[in-house]
């Protein structure tokens, strides 16, 4: 049995992943082409669930992770903010509405594992962007409010506001 979120394998008799709180599956199936066709149609109709805007690199990394978890998603170039050459500054992940919660769990699990690998507790990774001094959640360096840790370079500032495309309630972050 395999967890569709974290892809951990379980011995016979287990039916649920306690870490991800989802039902286990017997095997991970190939992403069906019809799921992508359905997603493209929903995107064209403005009915696909869209994530928060993010950089192309972040969107590609999250898309790869979701595809590994067998969650169909497409990159959507946010037309609200374009570079001078006409390329989107921000990208979103377009998802089938029924996959939003599983996508949210999958990305949350990735964040938890990344923080754990750095020795940072999830509760310690939250940064108060209104504080006069910020403690970097990655290296612990304390510095005056800024968008980037001057010691390790971790981006800790807010994601610049874009005029995101409308998205249904419950879309993943």
Mean pLDDT of all residues in 39-47: 91
Residue whose C-alpha is closest to residue 159's, from 53, 63, 50: 53
Question: Among the ranges 23-27, 34-38, 149-153, which has the highest mean pLDDT value?
Answer: 34-38
Reported as a single tens digit per residue, the pLDDT across 141-168 is: 888 888 888 877 777 776 555 444 454 5
Full-model pTM? 0.56
Tokens of 95: 């998802």
The per-residue pLDDT of the chain, averaged, comes to 80
Span 82-108, pLDDT tens digits: 888 888 888 899 999 999 999 988 888
Nearest by Cα to 73 from 99, 107, 52, 91: 99
pLDDT on residue 164: 47
pLDDT in tens, 55-85: 888 888 899 889 888 899 998 887 777 888 8
Exposed, middle or buried: residue 106 (CB in 10 Å: 0-12, 13-18, 19+)?
A: buried
Question: Domains of the chain by range and CATH?
Answer: 30-117 (3.30.70), 124-155 (no CATH)
Q: What is the DSSP string of 90-146?
A: -EEEEE-GGGHHHHHHHHHHHHHHHHHHTT--GGGG---TTSSEEE-TTT--EEES-
């Amino acid at each position: 049995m395999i967890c569709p979120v974290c892809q951990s394998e379980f011995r016979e008799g287990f039916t649920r992943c306690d870490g991800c709180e989802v039902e286990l599956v017997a095997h991970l199936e190939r992403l069906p082409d019809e799921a992508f066709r359905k997603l493209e149609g929903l995107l064209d109709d403005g009915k696909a669930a869209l994530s928060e805007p993010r950089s192309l690199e972040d969107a590609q990394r999250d898309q790869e992770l979701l595809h590994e978890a067998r969650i169909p998603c497409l990159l959507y170039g946010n037309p609200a903010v374009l570079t001078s050459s006409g390329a989107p500054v921000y990208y979103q992940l377009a998802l089938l509405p029924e996959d939003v919660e599983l996508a949210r769990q999958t990305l949350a699990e990735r964040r938890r594992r990344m923080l754990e690998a750095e020795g940072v507790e999830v509760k310690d990774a939250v940064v108060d962007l209104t504080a006069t001094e910020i403690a970097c959640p990655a290296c612990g360096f304390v510095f005056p409010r800024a968008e980037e840790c001057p010691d390790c370079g971790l981006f800790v500032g807010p994601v610049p506001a874009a005029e995101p495309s409308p998205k249904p309630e419950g879309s993943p972050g």
